[in-house]
Structure 1
Amino acid sequence: MWQWENAITEQLYRIRRHLHQFPELSFQEYRTCAYIMEQLGAWEIPYQQFGNTGVIVDIYGDVGQGPHLALRADIDALPIQEETALSFASRQPGVMHACGHDGHTTMLLGAVYHLWKYRSRLSGMVRCIFQPGEEADGAAKQMIEQGVLRNPDIDTVVALHLWPHLPFGVVGIKSEAMTASCDDFVMTVHGKSGHGARPHQAVDAIAIAAEVIRALQFLATKQRDPVEPLVIHVGRIQAGTANNIVADQARLEGTIRTTTQHSREQVKQDLLTFVTHIVESFGGKVSLRYADGIPPVVNDEHVCSVLVQSIRKMIGTDAVHTLKAPSMGADDFGYFAQEVSGAYFRLGIQKEETGTYDLHHPKFQFDEAILPIGAKILTQFAFDWLTKGAEKI
């Protein structure tokens, strides 16, 4: 039905190296956006800039009516100083593609190239979405609100993510929850200031905050169904002005991760009541600001089954690994999967002989041989879905 062009592989390496050298933070991907459009123009593939830094490519099959599929890649980088010593390391001080988004973008470009070339054999339509701002809350949500899943209405959406915890070339996938939601909170404990020598005359906000942190783990482990994952993490504390003064305020910032909407809503409802009882029992007061963030990525079982067939067809039966549990990390692809049926999968890059650093590490890198593998999977799935995949097979 289609055939990979080996000549495009070297182009993909060149594209990825350029993207890696010029990373840009969320919503600042102006150069990245322009470069993506430049590549599409060189291939004479029509495109549309979407918003300030997004790009979409609509590829209509010549066969006739059919499903409307979207493939998504994230394009932004992270505020990290690169330490890889690669010959094409980041030229932007303090900014790095430390999460593989340069790879995701390149793979989708490889898929675009082949889907466009072989569009005469497709039915329906594929919308390829180059999405900015994945590392910032709400970027996918903004695109959805701006109509990226409409005109025409998209039925299904698929994305991949490079994954250093699976062997090179192995795909990790599961139906249902794939990643967690990510909600944030800022909690301020209010006490009463005083001299450190006379703590009984004050209300120590730091001591109360310590009790709150301890109790949050009780909330996470003893008041929830143990088979439903829940993480409540306090990652930042600000309190006190001197070592001999009882602090009258302590500010705690944290994140909450769940894998079901039910647990997500329940912990949100319980958090303020739970913390208020603890703080007031020590004579303090508390204020809480809760920010709803990214929803969990929930994979559609049927889309996953077709995707697995495509992967096995393209790179071999042994290349698929069924994941046992979701990641408690988050990805704003969850907004897409919340709107239409979708599937999100991991593509392994682990190489024991060279060592593999985790995502968001200043030494994170991957073997470029993974680029054509990811592009082939996306392309094959699109062909399978637009021919028979949308049917319940």
Structure 2
Amino acid sequence: MPERNALLRDATALGPALSAWRRDLHRRPELGLSCPRAAALVAGELRGLGLEVREGLAHSGVLGVLRGGSGPTAALRVDMDALPLEERTGLDFASEIPDRMHACGHDGHTALGLGAARLLAARRDALPGTVLFLFQPGEEYPGGARPMIADGALDDPNPDVIFGCHLFPALERGRVGVCAGPTTAGNEEFTLTVTGRGGHAARPHECANPIQAASRLVLDLQGIAAGRVDAREPLVLTVAEFQAGSGHNVIPEDAVLRGTLRFLSETAREAAMREVRRLVRGVEAAWGVQVTLESRVDGPPMRLPEDLAGRVHGWCVDLLGPERVELLTRPSMGAEDFAYFAEARPAAYLRLGCRDAARSAGLHTAFFDFDETLLPDACATLAWCLWRFLTDESRISIFSPAC
């Protein structure tokens, strides 16, 4: 097993490389499943470490295999893609591409994955098993986890456990949260098209105004989450887009609403969508319009084994001390397609604290940034957890399928 202080010291020495990788990716963000530049950077670095490399999973995903002894296999998944957002941080390494930004920290995640690979590759001769490094595109949209799994990311070698991580502004910089039980929400995206009867804005009595009907529907939909269809667990329903009209004096034919439903169980999802359909029927009857509903489930809820989380919590405490580590049992209503990996294998997920007074903007905002000095310890934590799993003799009894 690597000596704790030596691992932390080596991770600290990696600080400049971690920042350089992060900044290089930050300047040139890529979207969706098309992350060829990030993939080329990752593949080149992994090959330079002597890892076996597969490219092209889910279009631009990369798999690196670090083989040590004949023991078990652990995997680490990090994401690479950015968001369609105009950056407003003012950083000297800000995005050079209009309307694209790493506003969710995936540039940092990719750097952490490369750093963990470097730390463990330097200890290859003592590594008791195999480690997979999965660099995933499309986490934000349209979802890269399922196609990576379909392309064989977990097949050869077959990992016994998989770790994920995310920078987390709700935790103080330098702290680590180990998630247990319900962790992130499932996501169902929906589109409601309200079709009325257009006409002159001066003669609304001759029309069936879809804007008015859609506005009523927006207000009614908010009551689903407010009333908690299933009061035993959280539920979020948000209308995030409203498109209608083309002039101040024209009542349009159509209005379009788009939004998301976040849920922690299939029962809650089904109940909420039944209520959506009931409200749609009521608006149709009251306003003389027609409403079509289209939706798709974009990812399941993520639920993580509590026994595994407890063990990972202990490993993190061993490395960082009890004052910097906590067990997180309250779910986030954000969605994370790592949930597909957690369905496929026993999984653990770490939230890496990045909140500080100088950088108060949240994820998915044009001002998001994080202090890069947190990267070395976070990198050491990921490498440490991978190593500890490979040497944990009790893993067979504690690593049960996801609950």
Amino acid at match of 1:300: P
Amino acid at match of 2:26: H
Change (3 A) 1:206 1:148: same
- Write out aligned runs for 1:277-296 (5 A): 277-296=282-301
Deviations along 1:287-307, one digit per CA (max 9) or x if unpaired, are: 111122122222221221121
Structure 2 residue 155 is matched with structure 1 residue 150: yes
Change (3 A) 1:199 1:380: same
Amino acid at match of 1:57: G
Amino acid at match of 1:36: V
Question: Which residue in the other structure is 2:390 paired with?
Answer: 386
The percentage of aligned residue pairs carrying the same residue is 36
Which residue among 16, 26, 29 is the counterpart of 2:32? Answer: 26
Q: Which runs of 5+ in 1 are unaligned?
A: none
Change (3 A) 1:13 1:339: same
TM-score, normalised via structure 2 length? 0.90
Q: CA deviation at 1:270?
A: 4.0
Q: CA deviation at 1:75?
A: 0.9
- Of 80-89 and 230-239, deviating more is 80-89
| C-alpha separation in 2, matches of 1:94 and 1:348 | 27
Change (3 A) 1:93 1:219: closer
SS in 2 for 1:392: helix
Q: CA deviation at 1:167?
A: 0.7
| C-alpha separation in 2, matches of 1:339 and 1:332 | 12
Deviations along 1:323-360, one digit per CA (max 9) or x if unpaired, are: 352221111111111222212221111112x2332112
Question: Which residue in the other structure is 1:159 paired with?
Answer: 164
Q: CA deviation at 1:98?
A: 1.8
Q: CA deviation at 1:269?
A: 4.1
Change (3 A) 1:218 1:106: same
Structure 2 residue 310 is matched with structure 1 residue 305: yes
Which residue among 374, 377, 383 is the counterpart of 2:378? Answer: 374
8 A Cα contact 1:302 1:392, kept in partner: no
Question: Which residue in the other structure is 1:191 paired with?
Answer: 196
Question: Which residue in the other structure is 1:365 paired with?
Answer: 369
Change (3 A) 1:131 1:215: same
Question: Which residue in the other structure is 1:249 paired with?
Answer: 254
- Write out aligned runs for 1:1-393 (5 A): 1-2=1-2, 3-4=6-7, 5=10, 6-51=12-57, 52-62=59-69, 64-66=70-72, 68-222=73-227, 224-323=229-328, 325-352=330-357, 354-388=358-392, 390-392=395-397
Q: CA deviation at 1:161?
A: 0.6
TM-score, normalised via structure 1 length? 0.92
Change (3 A) 1:86 1:211: closer
Q: CA deviation at 1:244?
A: 4.3
SS in 2 for 1:238: strand
8 A Cα contact 2:183 2:329, kept in partner: no
Q: CA deviation at 1:364?
A: 1.8
| C-alpha separation in 1, matches of 2:87 and 2:193 | 35
8 A Cα contact 2:49 2:121, kept in partner: no
| C-alpha separation in 2, matches of 1:86 and 1:241 | 37
| C-alpha separation in 1, matches of 2:65 and 2:229 | 45
SS in 2 for 1:44: coil
Q: CA deviation at 1:10?
A: 2.7
| C-alpha separation in 2, matches of 1:175 and 1:30 | 34
8 A Cα contact 1:258 1:296, kept in partner: yes
Q: CA deviation at 1:142?
A: 0.9
Change (3 A) 1:9 1:45: farther
8 A Cα contact 1:306 1:385, kept in partner: no
- Of 128-137 and 5-14, deviating more is 5-14
SS in 2 for 1:40: helix
Question: Which residue in the other structure is 2:401 paired with?
Answer: none
8 A Cα contact 1:297 1:344, kept in partner: no
Change (3 A) 1:201 1:316: same
Change (3 A) 1:161 1:86: same
| C-alpha separation in 1, matches of 2:86 and 2:252 | 35
Change (3 A) 1:152 1:317: same
